[in-house]
Amino acid sequence: MSESKTQTDTLSGESRNGSKKPQTSHHPKTDGMRDDKGYYGIPPIKASHWAWQIYLYFWVGGIGVGAHLASVMGQLFGWKDLAFFRVCRYTTVVAMVISPIMLIWDLGRPERFLNMLRIVKLRSPMSTGSWALSAFGSLAGAVATKQAADDGLIRLLPGGEPLTKLAKLIPERLISVAALPIGLYVGAYTGILLIATSVPLWARNWLLMGPLFLSSAVSTGLSWVSFVLHLGNWGETRTLHALRKAERVVLVIEAVLLAASLIRTGRWARPLFSRRLGPLFVGGTIVGGIILPFLLLFGKETRNKGLLSGGLVLVGGYILRYVMVRGGRDSANDPDEYFSFTKKDRTEVREAEKIEGEEL
């Protein structure tokens, strides 16, 4: 109780009992320095422990999914740009290697990670997501193996010749297409994972959190691919052009989903606009991650502009995930947020929500 050691009675303007000695209150409600909500301000629900591994996973996993979507579409429409396919496929496989490492790292008992694949539970996004990630990761691995064989990378390994021959048998076109729906679920389930909790900031936005995370996965994935192509001066001009076209529309979809999410979340979106997270969220995601790169995607197409817009979308996408997860912690830790969320009759709250929704 560090604050009570130094406080004076702010209600009467002088120390309690007229003495100069610092006083502690017998009851927090008489203590002018404390404004406890609910039961001594103790959170009625527990926040999740998720830290940097999880933000990083949400971000890297999304990039892998977006890159996969781009490569499948390029493949379906007969694109022949080798550099583009290389970047997409290697990105996806690296992302799908980093993702499970991050997730296993985050477990309290990492050695038991295989217990995730003990059962299938359709109502638990953590369960379906683990399965989807395992399946998508394996398929992405197969596609990347074929790519590595084509690129002559497998030949460098000991016993490379027969391995290359074997790897070239992989039907990578078929596998890529089959992996696409699973991959898109990997991009979306991270959002659904958040809404299936008691945290008001997440649970309130149940309809749009998955779509929002998926659109951000695709925007960051496309941006990553175009960023790398620009950086290495690789890829055909028409590939870069197609990526740019897609990015523009995807950013608009993302912006609409984000705006709708904020309106839907209403008063419970407050933690996103706190003093700590607000500047990051508004500056990093809304302005820096969506509006600025969107503007940069118009006009003359230059390398610098491509690098800048790609980089901004990537940073904005990371901040979106960081702010959503950290904001959820703040949301869970504030009794006001949860108790207003679980009121049986929320009519008054709904009125307030309308007003705040307009402000947002």
For other proteins, the binding residue among 10, 22, 52, 118 (CB under 8 A) is: 118
Q: What distances in angstroms separate CA 297 from CA 33, 196, 221, one per listed residue?
A: 51, 36, 16
CB of 62 to other proteins, least distance (A): 12
| 290 forms part of the interface with other proteins (CB under 8 A) | no
For other proteins, the binding residue among 8, 53, 127, 134 (CB under 8 A) is: 127
What residues contact 127, with CB distance under 8 A and at least 6 apart? 116, 119, 120, 121
Choose between 110 and 279: whose C-beta lies nearer to other proteins: 110
Residues numbered 161 to 220 that lie near other proteins (CB under 8 A) are 180-181, 184-185, 187-189, 191-193, 195-199, 202-203, 206-211, 214-215, 218
| 349 forms part of the interface with other proteins (CB under 8 A) | no
CB of 327 to other proteins, least distance (A): 13
> Which DSSP state fits 45?
S
d(CA 205, CA 340): 15
| Closest to 93 (Cα-Cα) out of 155, 148, 160 | 148
Judge contact between 213 and 62, C-beta under 8 A.
yes
Residues numbered 259 to 288 that lie near other proteins (CB under 8 A) are none
What residues contact 192, with CB distance under 8 A and at least 6 apart? 125, 129, 209, 210
| 344 forms part of the interface with other proteins (CB under 8 A) | yes
| 339 forms part of the interface with other proteins (CB under 8 A) | yes
For other proteins, the binding residue among 6, 20, 21, 27 (CB under 8 A) is: 27
CB of 114 to other proteins, least distance (A): 8
Choose between 49 and 300: whose C-beta lies nearer to other proteins: 49
Judged by CB under 8 A, the number of residues near other proteins is 98
| 11 forms part of the interface with other proteins (CB under 8 A) | yes
CB of 166 to other proteins, least distance (A): 31
Residues numbered 225 to 254 that lie near other proteins (CB under 8 A) are 238, 241-243, 245-246, 249-250, 253
d(CA 66, CA 216): 9
Judge contact between 285 and 262, C-beta under 8 A.
no
d(CA 78, CA 145): 21
Q: Classify residue 348 by burial, with Cβ atoms within 10 Å: 0-12, 13-18, 19+.
A: exposed
